[in-house]
A and B are shown apart, each in its own frame.
Chain A
Amino acid sequence: GDSVTQMEGPVTLSEEAFLTINCTYTATGYPSLFWYVQYPGEGLQLLLKATKADDKGSNKGFEATYRKETTSFHLEKGSVQVSDSAVYFCALVSGGSNYKLTFGKGTLLTVNP
């Protein structure tokens, strides 16, 4: 079945540091890939997405590239801010799942001033 593996957290960075959160996946067919963010006490917000190989999703300074050869979708940001502190979830929808999202376990990011 479909699965998503994210790097273990928590991740603690200083403001303006470079961020990478690794994500790899197993899926049938050609999945669409997503990063969601969850701020404390809130639901999930879609951060970015990519629907085919070599697509780059980007939003709010975050980027992730769909790498089919390595089945990866790593999240990066060049300079994090305190306001980026949240839990980040990698997720996928595969062709045979009729839009069911499969999530990783999440990575807690804390950015200190």
Chain B
Amino acid sequence: DAGVTQSPTHLIKTRGQQVTLRCSPKSGHDTVSWYQQALGQGPQFIFQYYEEEERQRGNFPDRFSGHQFPNYSSELNVNALLLGDSALYLCASGPMGEFYGYTFGSGTRLTVV
């Protein structure tokens, strides 16, 4: 049973560019959340998607946007990249309405130069 799959695993972008990260949730899970983990810090909640809608949002600017598709997979888009956006981006999936403590993917390491 595949868990949460994220792609790509590593990415290098230049300041000002745009990036798209992808996530496939674990089978049977219908919610997807995205977290940003800066080096040496705990993950910070970006937003959560359910039924193709953004349900909750953390304290992140509008440069961060997302999408959920009918098959529950999700994308995280970041526009106008800043050096401070360099981090590990984690995707987590879970079943809505029954919280066990989400299943996390291995993350995408984004480096902005």
Chain A positions near chain B (C-beta within 8 angstroms): 4, 32, 34, 36, 41-46, 49, 89, 91, 93, 97-106
Q: Are B107 and A43 in contact (CB under 8 A)?
A: yes
User: B94 at the A/B interface (Cβ < 8 Å)?
Assistant: yes
Q: Which of chain B's residues have a CB closer than 8 A to the CB of A34?
A: 101
- For chain B residues 72-113, which have a beta carbon within 8 Å of chain A? 90, 92, 94, 96, 99-107
Interface residue? B58 (CB, 8 A):
yes
- List, in ascending order, chain B residues with CB within 8 A of A105's CB: 40-42
Q: Which residues of B contact A (CB under 8 A)?
A: 4, 31, 33, 35, 40-45, 48, 55-56, 58, 90, 92, 94, 96, 99-107
**Chain A proximity of B95: nearest CB distance (Å):** 10
Q: Chain B residues near A43 (CB, 8 Å)? A: 4, 90, 104-107
Q: Are the C-beta atoms of A89 and B90 separated by less than 8 Å?
A: no
Chain B neighbourhood of A4, CB < 8 A: 42
**A contact residues around B44 at 8 Å (CB):** 103
B56 in contact with A103 (CB, 8 Å): no
For B33, list chain A residues within 8 Å (CB): 99-101
When distances are taken between beta carbons in the complex, the residues of chain A under 8 Å from B48 are 98-100
